[in-house]
Amino acid sequence: MRKINTIEIKIPEKMKISGNGKVMAAPVIITLIIAAAMYYFFLPPVNLKAVTFWIFIAVILVIYVLLAALFASVKQQEPAVKVPLTALTVIICMFLLITLYGTRIFHAKRYSEILHVQEDSIDVIPSVSGSSSIALMDTASAERLGDRRIGSLTNVVSQFNVGSYVQINYQDAPVKVAPLEYDGFFKWRSNKNNGIPGYVLVNPVDMSADYIALNENMRYVPSAYFSDNLYRKIRFTYPTVLFDYVHFEIDEEGNPKYIAPVYDHSIGLFGGKIVKGAIIVDPITGTMEKYDVASIPQWADVIFEGDLICTQYNDHAQLQHGFFNSIFSQKDCRQITTLEREDDDGDSVRYQDYGYIAKDGDIWIYTGVTSVNGDSSNIGFILANERTSETKFISCAGADEFSGMKSAEGEVQEKGYIASFPSLINVDGKPTYIMVLKDANGLVKMYAAVDVEQYNTVATATTQAECLEKYGRLIKADIPTDTSDFTNKTITIQRIETMVIDGNTWIYIVDENQNIYHAMYADVLEMLLVEEGDTISILTDGSTFTLNK
C-alpha cells in the first residue's frame, strides 16, 4: 500500500476562529439585518442634516449593544459593548450640542432673515371685482361635499377613501383637490394591480364637487405598500434628499401629480429650515424629476407650505432685535393672529390659521398680524405666495379674523350659524373679510362680509353676489358727511332701537320730546356706551344725527 504524506499547517493563534468568535459575529449580522429592515420601513434620509438619520444610527447602536451583551459570556460582555456604547454616548452628546447650537437663542438674526418681507399697500389685496374667484369653502366643507360625491359611486366608496385636500389654482380658478387612497392593507392587495382610479375636485366658489376618473390609474401613492409606496419610491431614488409635505396636485391638463418639497437647513445641522426645490412625481408611471425653486413649473402651486411660512414670519417679526428682546422687552415684536380654544384634553391652547387667495395665477395664503400681547386687533396682514414664498406686509389696523367671524355670527345669532375662516378682499379701498356661515351639519347657509376697520359693519345674504351688493351699499350709504348745516342739540334719550335694513344696521333714538333721529350704527359706535335716560350732545338736521365730539 502506498503511503500518503501529510502536511501539517500551523495557524497563528490570533488568526483562529473560535466558537466565541462565531458567537460575537452573530450580533453584527443580526444588527445589519434589523438595520436593513428598519431602513426599508422607516426610510430615513442618509444625511447628517436629518434628525431621523441620527436617531436611526443611535437605535442601531442600542440594538447592537443589547445583542452583544446577550451573546457574550460574562467575561466578554464589557469589551463587547464598550466600543459601541462609547460611540452611542458620543453621538448623543454631539446631537444635543449641534441641536442647541442651531437654536434661535444663538442665531436670532439669521432666523429673522430667512423670510424676506416687502411692505405694500392694500391695493395688492384682490379686488371685489374678482369675487368669482374668491374661495370661501373651508376644508371641512370640502370634505363633506367630496364624501357625498364619492358616496354615490358604489364601486369606488367600498374600496377607497378620500385623502387630504389641497387648495390649488387650476385653469385660473381656485379649486380643492384630493386623491382617492387605499382603505387599508387588504384593500390595497385587492386593488394594487389596477391602482387608484381617480381624484375628487371641489369648486370652493360654487360649492360643487366632481369625481375625476383617470384613463390610467395611479400606482405610486402614499397609501400603497412595499415597492408601490410613494415615499419609498422617492427615498430609493433620492436616498440623501430631505423632503416633506408630500401632497397631491394636478397640472393644467388635469393630470395627477405628487409634489414633495425639498428642504435644507441653513443654520447648523438642524436649524433654519429653507425650501430648496421640489420633487415632482408622476404616480401613474413612477417617473420623477427634481427641480430647484426657480425652475418649478408654473402649475405647481404649493411648494412653500403655509405653516412653514407662518413660522418664518413670526421669526422675522420677533427676532430682528435679538432673542432676548422677543422674550422680555418685545420691542417691535409682532406675530400672526392666533385663536385660543380647548384641545382634546380640555387644556387651553392657541393655534394659527390662514385663508387662501387666488392671485396672479398662484395661491397665496393670508393671515392677520397682531401684537405679541395677543389682543383682538390687527395691525396689518401678510400675503405669501405658496409657490415662490414672496411675502408682502400690508399695514391696516382693524379687527382680527376671529373678531370678524364673531361679528358675522352675531348678525345671525338667532340661527346659530358658525363662520368659517374668512378670505380677504378689497371693496372700494376697504379691506373686507368675506366668509361663509354654516349650520350645525356643516352646510353653507349664508355669506357674510365684515369691514376690517369697523367690524360691526356687517352684511349677510344667502348668496355671495347678494352679500357683496349689500355690503357695497352699506359702505356707500348716503349719510350726510357735511355737518356745517347741522345744529347742536342736547337731548335726553327716552328710547334706543336698532334695525337691520337691506343688510345695514341702523340705530334710532327718541328724545324727551318724542323726536326721532337715526344714523348708520357704524358711524356712531360710541352709542354702545349710551343707555336710555342718558343725556347726550348731538349734531342733527332734524332727522339724521351724529355725535357732537
- Cα→Cα distances 42→225, 389, 407, Å: 12, 30, 47
Burial of residue 356 (CB within 10 Å: 0-12, 13-18, 19+) is: buried
Candidates 441, 411, 35, 416; CA nearest to 433 is: 411
Per DSSP, the residues of 525-544 read: GGGGG--TT-EEEEEESSSB
Given this model, what pLDDT does residue 24 score? Answer: 64
Taking CA 167 as the corner, what is the angle to CA 405 and CA 384, rounded to the nearest 5 degrees?
75
Q: Please, which residues have CB within 8 angstroms of residue 328's CB and are 6 or more apart in sequence?
A: none
> Strand pairing partners for 437?
419, 446
pLDDT tens-digit series, residues 198-220: 999 998 877 889 999 999 999 99
> Considering the entire predicted model, what is its pTM?
0.80
10 Å Cβ neighbour count for 53?
16
Q: Count Cα atoms within 13 angstroms, Cβ side, for 309.
A: 26
Given this model, what pLDDT does residue 68 score? Answer: 86
What is the grid cell recorded at 42? 422607516
Given this model, what pLDDT does residue 7 score? Answer: 46
Candidates 242, 191, 241, 236; CA nearest to 218 is: 191
Q: Please, which residues have CB within 8 angstroms of residue 415's CB and are 6 or more apart in sequence?
A: 437, 439, 445, 446
pLDDT tens-digit series, residues 393-439: 999 888 889 889 999 999 999 999 999 889 899 888 889 999 999 99
Q: Please, which residues have CB within 8 angstroms of residue 469's CB and are 6 or more apart in sequence?
A: 461
Q: Which letter, b or e, does each residue of 255-276 get, where b requires 16 or more Cβ atoms within 10 Å of its Cβ?
A: ebbbbbbbbebbbbbbbbbbbb
* Dihedrals phi, psi of 504, to nearest 5 degrees: -105, 135
Which single residue is written with the C-alpha cell 432685535? Answer: 321
Cβ-contact 358, 133 below 8 angstroms: yes
Question: Where along the chain do its domains lie?
Answer: 13-101, 136-303, 333-339+350-475, 487-547
Distance, CA of 544 to CA of 482 (rounded, Å)? 12
Q: Please, which residues have CB within 8 angstroms of residue 346's CB and are 6 or more apart in sequence?
A: none
Q: Please, which residues have CB within 8 angstroms of residue 532's CB and are 6 or more apart in sequence?
A: 493, 494, 495, 496
> Strand pairing partners for 271?
267
DSSP SS3 for 293:
helix
Given this model, what pLDDT does residue 110 score? Answer: 97
For the chain, the straight-line distance linking the first and the last C-alpha, in angstroms and rounded, comes to 135
What is the grid cell recorded at 459? 352684511
Cβ-contact 249, 302 below 8 angstroms: yes
10 Å Cβ neighbour count for 154?
9
The alpha carbons of the chain give a radius of gyration, in whole angstroms, of 32
Distance, CA of 499 to CA of 317 (rounded, Å)? 42
Per DSSP, the residues of 65-87 read: HHHHHHHS-TTTHHHHHHHHHHH
CATH of 487-547 among 3.40.30, 3.30.70, 2.40.160, 2.40.50: 2.40.50
Longest dimension (CA), the chain: 148
H and E: helices and strands count for the chain: 12, 27
Q: Is the dihedral of CA 466, 467, 473, 476 positive or negative?
A: negative
Distance, CA of 117 to CA of 136 (rounded, Å)? 26
Given this model, what pLDDT does residue 504 score? Answer: 59
Taking CA 323 as the corner, what is the angle to CA 321 and CA 325, rounded to the nearest 5 degrees?
55
Q: With a cut of 70, which residues of the chain have pLDDT below it?
A: 1-24, 73-77, 79-80, 129-133, 340-350, 374-375, 477-482, 501-504, 522
Q: Which letter, b or e, does each residue of 502-540 get, where b requires 16 or more Cβ atoms within 10 Å of its Cβ?
A: ebbbbbebbbeeeeebbbbbbbbeebeebeeeeebebbb
Given this model, what pLDDT does residue 499 score? Answer: 81
What is the grid cell recorded at 423? 378670505
